[in-house]
Structure 1
Amino acid sequence: MEKATVTIVGGGPSGLATAAYLHHLSIPYILLEREDCFASLWQKHTYDRVHLHLPKQLCNLPLMPMPAHYPTYVPRRLFLDYLNDYVTRFHIHPVYRRSVEAATYDGGEWKIEARNSDSGEVEEYRSRFLVVATGETCDPSMPEIEGLGSFTGEVLHSTEYKNGGSFAGKKVLVVGSGNSGMEIAVTLADCGARTSIVVRSPVHILSRRIAHTTLVLLQYLPRKWADSFAIMMSKIVYGDLTKYGIQRPKKGPFALKDDYGKYPVIDAGSMDKIKSGEIKVLPGISSIKGKCVIFENEKEEYSYDVIIFATGFKRSTKQWLKGDDNFLNEDGLPKVNYPNHWKGINGLYCIGLARKGLYGAASDAQNVAHHIKSQITH
């Protein structure tokens, strides 16, 4: 059994931010990470061309801004360099390959059971405080589609996709019209794949400039006014998207993000390719038979060589966090609304679940670390 003042679960940016601030306040901690590296999503499960969607000023982790020479929108490689420097600067040493199976509050402290993936043994950790820093992207989510098991082509999740080089000349269907799906479709089309994308639900498309300007406006204006600006500018820049099979939601882009966790798509070239016909937009999938995909409008039926599911993630926190039904809902998100979402009871906290991106995770980490410090010193 190992003991520390704080146990952090999750070695992504949320967990690293928490560890850094606890180190800054001289609070001992243990950081458990189920993979064999920190920020495993960024290191192993993102496509090569991914960039941060927001300006770097909104993506800094606590106590260490990104270098001045970094571009405004930071590519994956430079962001990983930044995280490496961050881990070194704050002497962060995660305990790797530890998969948490249960966390219970017992006798005034948290008892965490984690399986060592190397030995297969379950290890016990105890701490006064527990920080859930697994974030919004835990386990890949795949939809249930009639006949998917019969598909004779290649099926993969977006976490397995790196680049479009091996898909040149192939007929590829991307399922999911969020940022990952749209960007993957662009990279596929760039590499010569015959690309289609499923856009089942209404979606907001914003340019980087529109998104950035709206975020600035949100600091001074009510959300509905900022959203109205974003929608107006999107209509001016992109025009009527219904002719391409894309509907705009009735709710504003940042209202949807805050209330339902549905992010606007930051255009990385997808709209030009959709308008030119390089990327074909299709409705939801009804069923699959062999290589043939039947769509919900029942008017279209196409065969594909590859299906890539950019269908997001599901959170597994509720499976191992025991006895706290008042903190997280069944989807693993806080029941308490922002800005008080990060604090539970009995020394339980969460980081990075405010739907505010890296900026939100950094803010959560500071709040949690200072609150723990206040509990220790009083």
Structure 2
Amino acid sequence: MGSCKSPQEDEQKKPRPDCTCKGVIVHGPIIVGAGPSGLAASACLSELGVPSLILERSDCIASLWQHKTYDRLKLHLPKNFCELPYLKFPEDFPKYPTKHQFISYMESYAARFSIRPRFNQAVLGASFEDGLWRVRTHELVYVSRWLIVATGENAEPVIPDIAGLEKFGGRIIHTSSYKSGSDFRNQKVLVMGCGNSGMEVSLDLCRNNAVPHMVVRNTVHVLPREMFGFSTFGIAMGLLKWLPLKLVDKFLLLAANITLGNTDQLGLRRPKTGPTELKNVTGKTPVLDVGALSQIRSGKIKVTEGVKEIMKTGAKFMDGQEEEFDAIILATGYKSNVNSWLKSGEFFTKEGMPKIPFPNGWRGENGLYKVGFTRRGLLGAACDAIKIAQDIAEQWRSVKHQHRNILYDSHKIRVQKS
């Protein structure tokens, strides 16, 4: 894609911060991650006159979208709920943009705000020392008063511990490596997981004459993507302005039962907690149906119980039944990786999520911020980015005229006011 470039190209275009052999002084916040959240934070800062530096481990912006999504992916929500600050989607884009259209939007966004991340800069560690944040990559140590964590909730694939998985003789992939059902044509495939990815991968497999068996271990809310011609998400957002959350959930479930029928009869039991409340409390997103339910009803997608054990040629299920499979696809989601590199345990839980929930979890202590951890998608990331930029801009205006001496020694970088 257009935003994939070599480190050499990037270095030629990006003004270099002050640096010595010991480190790089960044005159503005360091942002870790060049996904939508990191780009939004950088753009919001730029609009307020604050420079920033994005460090990105991959070779392009929005690497999750560019490298780890399947071909048929579209935005689950209407484009007006997925816009980043200060730039709308093109008017000729459909209501639910495709993967490639969204990537194009991200590239336009980066170009609009002259955002040039430093690519291939995986962060190995970040710590707060002597009043400054030190962010270490394999090449350099970057130093700043502010650190913005923008690596997101979906930084690493979740690989579950399934008994016997290593014994399986066929192909095993995570959905992060899945591209198209054409790679599994005429095969019998075990899909582990029934979230949005599991449902859409199963649907894609069906359309390529594969036979998916989708494993449903837990309860799941399935809602239509649209109700009465309007986005289900948009309806929920509108009702929440006037009605209590539990009442909104009752309405959504009533409408879902009218349009989709009783999903319990398909092996998709609903949780007792409503879809909106469950999303807010646990982050578990309801499935927005784009056609998988009709394939389940027709028998083309088989819904199965939990897997007890994987064998060389297939799987044994909890009910004792055994089936042979050609391949296994792990639709088991993603997780945060913050705690693997951020040496500050006060802001994030052991799962790598903010300890303070939305809408107040965007700011930590000592100039530490996070964006893209709201469990509310791109809309939540945009909200955080605006708040972060405003907060840092106030500090920036108060200190930008202060004269500073940068003193280096063999062990650390010290910043002193003269």
Q: Is TM > 0.5 for Structure 1 vs Structure 2?
A: yes
- 3-state DSSP class of the match of 2:145? strand
Deviations 1:200-228 (A, max 9, x none): 11111111114232222122221111111
Residue pairs, 1:120-269, within 5 angstroms: 122-210=139-227, 211-212=232-233, 213-269=235-291
Which amino acid is 1:340 matched to?
A: N
Match of 1:349 in 2: 369
Match of 1:327 in 2: 347
- 3-state DSSP class of the match of 2:38? helix
Deviation at 1:354, TM superposition (A): 0.7
Deviations 1:295-333 (A, max 9, x none): 1222x21110010001011211112111x3221000110
Q: Which runs of 5+ in 2 are unaligned?
A: 1-22, 399-418
Match of 1:118 in 2: none
8 A contact 2:43–2:113 mirrored in 1: yes
For 2:35, which of 4, 8, 12 is the aligned residue?
12
Which amino acid is 1:368 matched to?
A: I
Distance 2:57 2:241 in 1: 37
Distance 2:367 2:318 in 1: 48
Deviations 1:61-113 (A, max 9, x none): 01101112211111111111111111111001010111111111111110110
- 3-state DSSP class of the match of 1:166? helix
- 3-state DSSP class of the match of 2:146? strand
Which amino acid is 2:329 matched to?
A: I
Deviation at 1:199, TM superposition (A): 1.0
Match of 1:297 in 2: 319
Deviations 1:270-302 (A, max 9, x none): 10000010100011111011012011222x211
Distance 2:208 2:255 in 1: 31
8 A contact 2:224–2:260 mirrored in 1: no
For 1:45, which of 68, 81, 91 is the aligned residue?
68
Which amino acid is 2:325 matched to?
A: Y
Match of 1:277 in 2: 299
Query: What TM-score do you get using the length of structure 1 for normalisation?
Result: 0.96
Distance 2:237 2:44 in 1: 26
Deviation at 1:123, TM superposition (A): 1.2
Distance 1:285 1:216 in 2: 40
Deviation at 1:338, TM superposition (A): 1.3
Match of 1:108 in 2: 131
Distance 1:51 1:220 in 2: 30
8 A contact 1:214–1:229 mirrored in 2: no
Distance 1:31 1:166 in 2: 36
8 A contact 1:52–1:73 mirrored in 2: yes
Deviation at 1:377, TM superposition (A): 2.4
Distance 2:187 2:264 in 1: 27
1:308 aligned to 2:325? Answer: no
8 A contact 2:57–2:119 mirrored in 1: yes
Match of 1:75 in 2: 98
Deviation at 1:169, TM superposition (A): 0.7
Match of 2:56 in 1: 33
Which amino acid is 1:190 matched to?
A: R
Deviation at 1:374, TM superposition (A): 1.2
Moved over 4 A (4+): none
- 3-state DSSP class of the match of 2:303? strand
Which amino acid is 2:48 matched to?
A: L
Q: Which runs of 5+ in 1 are unaligned?
A: 116-121
**What RMSD in Å do the two structures reach over aligned CA positions?**
1.0
Residues paired across the two proteins, number = 370
Which amino acid is 2:243 matched to?
A: L
Match of 1:338 in 2: 358
- 3-state DSSP class of the match of 1:236? helix
